[in-house]
């Protein structure tokens, strides 16, 4: 009996180890097969807990896809809702970027951009206008409610929001001036972020 129990214990330990190796953390707050296509996977609400020391093509691609998903979603709404949409989705994206030296600066830069957009949004909210419920984002599925901006203030606010995105793009490119390993990865993230400026035209 003792020997049998000991063998069962060893078998359970080996199985747990195999399962741990079978999945890798996804940028979107879930686990997915290391070689699989996670583009249609569900999105968790918690931040990724894994610490990543070196950028990988898989994780960088996932961050870029998340930004592209936010651009596609926010672009489907009336311009009055786009600043708040981009603000909230960039916050989601920053939360899902892994901790650790590989992406820590990207995470901070995107998070700061979201906060700056929030300050812009706070000064232009149209409390009389109906709110917009989020829809059709296969990358960032967490339901959001977006507030409208006042029409008479939208043009100036859009210009300020574009400046926030431009600053974040510049910061991403500067963050890797002394790191060849991260340069290409951050350039891809910066380019994806730059593409969101098309949303910010009234």
Res 23: pLDDT: 33
- Is 126 a domain residue? yes
- The pLDDT tens digits of the residues spanning 147-183 come to 999 999 999 999 999 999 999 999 999 998 877 888 9
pLDDT surpasses 60 at 193: yes
Res 50: pLDDT: 67
Residue 143 — left, alpha, or beta (φ > 0 → left; ψ -120 to 50 → alpha)?
beta
- Is 104 a domain residue? yes
pLDDT average, residue stretch 29-37: 34
pLDDT average, residue stretch 112-134: 97
**Residue 48 corresponds to which tokens in the numbers above?**
């990724």
Name the pTM for this structure.
Answer: 0.76
Nearest to 66 by CA among 86, 46, 80: 86
- Is 191 a domain residue? yes
% of residues, the chain, pLDDT over 90: 65
Res 179: pLDDT: 78
Stronger pLDDT, 10 or 18, i.e. the higher one: 10
Lowest mean pLDDT among 7-16, 32-41, 112-121, 137-146: 32-41
- Is 192 a domain residue? yes
- Is 172 a domain residue? yes
Structural domain total, the chain? 1
Structural domain boundaries, residue 74: 50-199
- Is 96 a domain residue? yes
Please count the residues of the chain. 202
Euclidean distance between CA atoms 153 and 162, whole angstroms: 15
**Residue 28 corresponds to which tokens in the numbers above?**
């979107």
- Is 36 a domain residue? no
- The pLDDT tens digits of the residues spanning 63-111 come to 999 999 999 999 999 999 999 999 999 999 999 999 899 999 999 999 9
DSSP sequence for 93-120: HHHHSPBSTTTHHHHHHHHHHHHHHHHH
- Is 13 a domain residue? no
């Amino acid at each position: 009996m003792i020997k049998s129990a000991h063998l069962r214990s060893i078998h359970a330990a080996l199985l747990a180890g195999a399962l741990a190796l079978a999945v890798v953390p996804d940028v979107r707050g879930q686990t997915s097969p290391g070689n699989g296509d996670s583009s249609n996977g569900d999105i968790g609400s918690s931040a990724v807990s894994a610490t990543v020391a070196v950028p990988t093509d898989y994780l960088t691609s996932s961050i870029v896809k998340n930004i592209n998903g936010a651009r596609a979603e926010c672009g489907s709404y009336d311009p009055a809702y786009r600043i708040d949409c981009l603000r909230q989705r960039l916050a989601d994206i920053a939360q899902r970027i892994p901790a650790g030296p590989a992406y820590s600066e990207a995470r901070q830069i995107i998070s700061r951009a979201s906060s700056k957009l929030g300050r812009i949004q706070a000064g232009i909210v149209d409390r009389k206008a109906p709110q917009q419920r989020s829809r059709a984002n296969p990358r960032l599925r967490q339901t959001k409610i977006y507030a409208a901006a006042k029409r008479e203030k939208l043009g100036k606010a859009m210009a300020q929001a574009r400046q926030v995105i431009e600053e974040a793009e510049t910061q991403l490119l500067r963050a890797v001036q002394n790191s060849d390993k991260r340069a290409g990865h951050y350039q891809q993230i910066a380019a994806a972020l730059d593409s969101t400026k098309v949303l910010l035209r009234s």
